[in-house]
Amino acid sequence: MTATLTPTRTVAPVARRASWFAQTGEVCRRWVVDTVRQPWGLGVSVLQPLVWIVLFGNVFESVATVPGFGADDYLTFLVPGILMMTVLYSGAWAGTGFIDDIRSGVMDRLLTSPVHRSALVVGQLVQQLLLTAVQGVIVLAIAWAAGARFDGGVVGLAVALGASLLLAASFCSLSAAVALLARDQTALIGISTTIVLPATFVSTALMPPALLPAWVESAARFNPLTWATEVARTAMSTDVDWTLVGTRSALLAVLAVLVAAWSVAAMRTYQRSL
Amino acid sequence: MPIRPPAVEAVDLVKTYPGGRGRPDVRALDGLTLTVPAGTVHGLLGPNGAGKSTTTKILTTLSRATSGTARVVGQDVVVDADAVRRSIGYVSQGTGADPLLSPRENLVMAARLRGSSRSAAADRAAALVDRFGLGDAGDRRTGGLSGGTRRKLDVALGLVDAPRVLFLDEPTTGLDPEARASMWDEIRRLAGEDALTVLLTTHYLEEADRLADGLSIVDRGRVVVAGTPDELKATLVGDTLTVDLVEPDADAVRAAVARVLTDVVVHVEGPTGRLVARTPDGPAVVGATIAALQAAGVRHGAVAVSRPTLDDVYLRYAGRSWSDSSPARPTGSSTDRSASAAPARTTSGASGGRSTSGSSAVPAGRDTDGASAADGRDAREVTR
């Protein structure tokens, strides 16, 4: 029994330490519970792609008839782009949890506990990826209900979701790193939206490369949003370009690892600033 | 019993923060040295900005000293940071709890992060919920609980892994008097527990006086004096004699007691006033003082003799009054107050002090004028 408080001290916490995986799991669990208990955030993140599908799908419907578009149905073309946009717009908020923790004092308590700094960052990232996966499934379901058809089948959908997770890993880590360095909600949202909107339009998310102005088309090639969209688009088509899937996924994975490492470093930078 | 090493040993801690934009660096700690024997409650007492929190942050491994060394339970806070973290609990000035989780969930998470099994974490959380009387609140969302309850949860979170040293950074700041009293009971209870050392920072003199076995008075990043509260008070010789006066004439009062008391300040505030005197032996001069006042026809109210307070200690060692160094309320200490407030009234009040009746009621409406000074002792506690 550990109901009494003092005797446990002699059993001493000396050798005992939670494994990195257990800590990461616990951190992740906490954020999942937090997310579920804020239904507004979850609701909005589902509502957003719904609005996009309806809005873009209708406004730009005739684009598919423009010579050189290369696809018959704009909605089907649009879905991978909407999927990746959802990742960006909801991932922009990923760092706000850290800012709340810094302000409230939760961060101070965690940092004075024997907890791996990387577990604090990675645990939250895993929660963000879970959230992304749930959102992705919902986006695809809404799109299907709206009339989009996925010729790539289950494999195509899985690859598309995988690409969205790789993109989310980069972008959520970016948001976390900025949050830990700026420590200010307004700065974080300002920086995020400044990145997100241009990133959306300087990409092939909404428009095929052939219809983009030349300079936008060249810039879009270096945009991770383009990489992820291309992977999803080809995987969900009848004629899958596996080389494209492989190269772009590799680029996304390398980027994700680099930015995630930066966010862990940002956690240490934060502590050094105290 | 073997001699245990001190729970906390800090030597010559210096901490500077960059001033930014060309401003000079801020020196938060300026050579702070501190030793806390194991198993005691030690108070770090000082005004806001004295360096108390910075010291706590360095000792809990949260922050790093610019220079100097610190050991907690014998482990270096930089080299063996992880060992230190396993032995301590830290209750910061902010809340340590996630507002969306219940107290129980917060406690379970804290225990799990520190390596408890699921069942051990649940047991521990249940024991702490029980012990801190969180009861029904234990399963409600923390964000909706009262300040006092949340603060108790913060302390419970600090105790989740049965630490050997518990750091409490201003545990009662912002609490109402009832919640503060309840928190003091908890801390006293902790102090009774075997082998637990508590390092408490506070800017409440009363809190330090009641809870701490040992005290270090911190001012401008240094410990200016350390000892037990009684030792510190004992370094000040003598007592303070206070007599409430009714419609006093300061000069007449001074003249009346001149043969009995030497170190006298008369403070007049509207229709009321107060005589404050430092004397080697308070009880011995009370009778003579009253007799002298009555012989001169000075009306008076309550008479009190008090031992030196920590405020007096602070005044002496930090070289300025407690309240002057706390930013919020510029209420002077007993001696300052009379010096600053008295002169304006003493000349104009000459007609009032010659009545021979023993005591007449002070008009209720005009009493508020003097209230700010009379409440000085309470006002000092409201500095944030």
Smallest CA–CA distance, residue B129 to chain A, in Å, is 11
Domain that includes residue B241, residue range: 236-379
Round to whole Å and give the CA distance between A23 and A183: 24
Task: Say yes or no: B4 contacts chain A, CB-CB below 8 A.
Answer: no
Q: Does B195 touch chain A (CB under 8 A)?
A: yes
Domain termination site, one of B233, B250, B265 = B233
Q: Look at residue B2 and tell me if it is in a domain.
A: no
Residue B3 lies inside a defined structural domain of this protein: no
Contacts of A268 (CB under 8 A, 6+ apart): A117
What are the φ/ψ torsions at residue B229 (nearest 5 degrees)?
-55, -40
**With an 8 Å Cβ cutoff, are A8 and B162 in contact?**
yes
The pLDDT of residue B249 is 84
In whole angstroms, what separates CA A121 from the centre of its chain? 14
Note whether A30 contacts B126, CB cutoff 8 Å. no
Give the strand pairing for B26-36 and B8-17: antiparallel
B140 vs A: CB within 8 A: no
Question: Which residues of chain A are modeled with pLDDT < 50?
Answer: 1-15
Between residues 293 and 332 of chain B, which touch chain A (CB distance below 8 Å)?
A: none
Give the chain A residue whose CA is nearest to the CA of B160: A5
CATH code of the domain covering residue B374: 3.30.70
Report d(CA A235, CA A240) in Å as an integer: 5
User: Hey, is the C-beta of A15 within 8 angstroms of any chain B C-beta?
Assistant: no
Instruction: Spell out the alpha helix ranges (H) of A147-241.
Output: 153-182, 185-201, 214-220, 224-235
The answer to the question of residue B143 being in a domain is: yes
- In this structure, is the dihedral angle defined by the CA atoms of residues A21, A24, A30 and A31, taken in order, positive or negative? negative
With DSSP H G I counted as helix, E B as strand and the rest as coil, what are the percentages for chain B, rounded to 5? 40, 25, 35
What is the structure's pLDDT at B247? 84
Query: DSSP letter at B362?
Result: P
Are both B178 and B263 inside the same structural domain?
A: no
pLDDT at position A160: 95
Smallest CA–CA distance, residue B325 to chain A, in Å, is 25
Same domain, B264 and B216: no
A151 contacts chain B (CB < 8 A): no
Structure tokens that stand for B377 in this block? 């002792």
Backbone angles phi and psi of A98, in degrees to 5: -65, -40
Query: How many other CB atoms are found less than 10 A from the CB of residue B118?
Result: 10
Q: Which of the residue ranges A41-50, A248-257, B272-281, B344-353 would you say has the lowest mean pLDDT?
A: B344-353
Instruction: Please state, in angstroms and as integers, the Cα–Cα distance from residue A274 to each residue in A268, B46, B139, following that order.
Output: 10, 21, 33
Cβ–Cβ contact A5 with B under 8 A? yes
Higher pLDDT, B193 or A82: A82
Q: Are B244 and B371 in a shared domain?
A: yes
* B137 and B222 fall within a common domain: yes
Q: Is the pLDDT of residue B246 over 70?
A: yes
SS3 B30: strand
Q: Which helix (H) or strand (E) holds B335?
A: helix B334-341
Residues B113 and B25 both lie in one domain: yes
Rounded Cα gap, residues B76 and B183, in angstroms: 31
pLDDT digits 0-9 by tens, B103-136? 999 999 999 999 999 999 999 999 999 999 888 8
Apex B18 CA angle, B17 and B24, nearest 5: 110
* Domain assignment present for B384: no
To the nearest whole Å, the CA of A46 is away from the closest chain B CA by: 22
B113 touches chain A (CB under 8 A): yes
Asked if residue B342 and residue B211 are part of one domain, the reply reads: no
Distance CA B280, CA B271 (A): 30
Q: Which of B171, B200, B233 is the last residue of a domain?
A: B233
The residue ranges of DSSP E strands in chain A, in sequence order, are none
Asked whether residue B209 falls in the same domain as residue B148, the answer is: yes
pLDDT of B338 above 70: no
> Residues B243, B225: one domain?
no
Token readout for B212 is 């701490």
Whether residue B241 sits in one domain with residue B179: no
Kindly state whether A8 is in contact with chain B, defined as any CB-CB distance less than 8 angstroms. yes
Cα(A127)–Cα(A150) distance, integer angstroms: 28
- Count of pairs with CB atoms under 8 A, one residue in A, one in B: 120
Instruction: Answer yes or no: do B244 and B368 share one domain.
Output: yes
CB–CB of A6 and B164 under 8 A?
no
The CA–CA distances, whole Å, from B213 to A118, A149, A190, A258, B36 equal: 39, 75, 51, 52, 10
Q: What are phi and psi of A95, to 5 degrees?
A: -80, -15
pLDDT for res A16: 59
Instruction: Find the mean pLDDT for residues B90-98.
Output: 91
Q: B207: distance to nearest CA of chain A, Å?
A: 23
Distance from CA of A102 to the nearest CA of B (A): 9
Among all residues of chain A, which has the CA nearest to that of B121? A2
Cα B31-B35-B41 angle, rounded to 5 deg: 125
- Asked, for residue B189, whether it belongs to a domain, the answer is yes
Yes or no, beta carbons of A274 and B62 under 8 Å apart: yes
User: Do A3 and B123 make contact, defined as CB atoms within 8 angstroms?
Assistant: yes
* pLDDT at residue B344 in the model: 29
pTM of the predicted structure, to 2 decimals: 0.78
Partners of A118 on chain B (C-beta within 8 Å) are none
Q: Tell me what pLDDT residue A64 has.
A: 76
Please give the pLDDT value at position A228: 96
CA distance A126 to chain B (A): 16
Which positions in chain B touch A104 (Cβ < 8 Å)?
94-95, 97, 99
Residue B235 has pLDDT above 60, yes or no: yes
User: CA-to-CA distance for A60 and A75, rounded, in angstroms?
Assistant: 9
Assembly ipTM:
0.85
Does position B372 have pLDDT exceeding 50, yes or no?
no
Assess contact for B89 and B167: CB atoms under 8 A: yes
* The predicted structure's pLDDT at residue B277: 82
> Which of A160, A179, A87, A83 shows the shortest CA–CA distance to A129?
A87
CATH of residue B39? 3.40.50.300
Query: For position A5, what pLDDT does the model report?
Result: 44
Mean pLDDT value across residues B159-188? 90
- Retrieve residue A62's tokens: 């005739």
Other C-beta atoms closer than 10 Å to the C-beta of A215 total 9
As for how many domains chain B has, the answer is 2
* pLDDT of B255 higher than 90: no
pLDDT at B365: 33
Confidence of residue B230 (pLDDT cuts 50, 70, 90): confident
> For residues B132 and B150, what is the distance between their CA atoms, to the nearest angstrom?
11
Mutate which: A2, A11, A31, A116, vs B, most B CBs within 10 A = A2
- Measure the CA angle with vertex B76, ends B71 and B79; round to 5°: 165
pLDDT over 90 percentage in chain B: 38
Optimal mutation site among A1, A108, A120, interface B, most CBs of chain B within 10 A = A108
Rounded to an integer, what distance in angstroms lies between the CA atom of residue B322 and that of residue B316?
A: 10
One domain, residues B228 and B288: no
Chain A positions in Cβ-Cβ contact with residue B92 (cut-off 8 Å): 105, 108-109
Structure-block tokens of residue B270: 């509207």
CA A178, CA A102: separation in Å to the nearest integer?
Answer: 13
pLDDT digits (tens, 9 = 90+) for B33-68: 999 999 999 999 988 888 999 999 999 999 999 999
User: In sequence order, which residues have a C-beta less than 8 Å from that of residue B22 and are 6 or more positions away?
Assistant: none
CB A240 within 8 A of CB A232: no
Chain B nearest-CA residue for A38: B100
Which of A1, A30, A108 is facing B98, going by the closest CB pair?
A30
Which residue, B189, B217, B233, sits at the end of a domain?
B233
Inter-chain touch B61–A112, beta carbons under 8 Å? yes
Given this model, what pLDDT does residue B194 score? 67
The strand order across the sheet containing B8-17 reads B26-36, B8-17, B67-72, B75-76
B100 lies in some domain: yes
Q: Which residues pair with A137 in a beta bridge?
A: none
Residues 57-86 (B) with a CB less than 8 A from some CB of A = 57, 60-64, 82, 85-86
Q: How far apart are CA B255 and CA B261, in angstroms?
A: 10
Residue contact B60–A112, C-beta within 8 A: yes
C-alpha torsion B245→B246→B247→B252, nearest 10: -40
User: Per the CB < 8 Å rule, is A13 touching B87?
Assistant: yes
Same domain, B43 and B167: yes
pLDDT for B313: 75
To the nearest 10 degrees (0 to 180), the angle between helices A153-182 and A224-235 is 160
B371 has a pLDDT exceeding 70: no
Binned at pLDDT 50, 70 and 90, residue B334 comes out as: very low
pLDDT of residue B238 exceeding 80: no
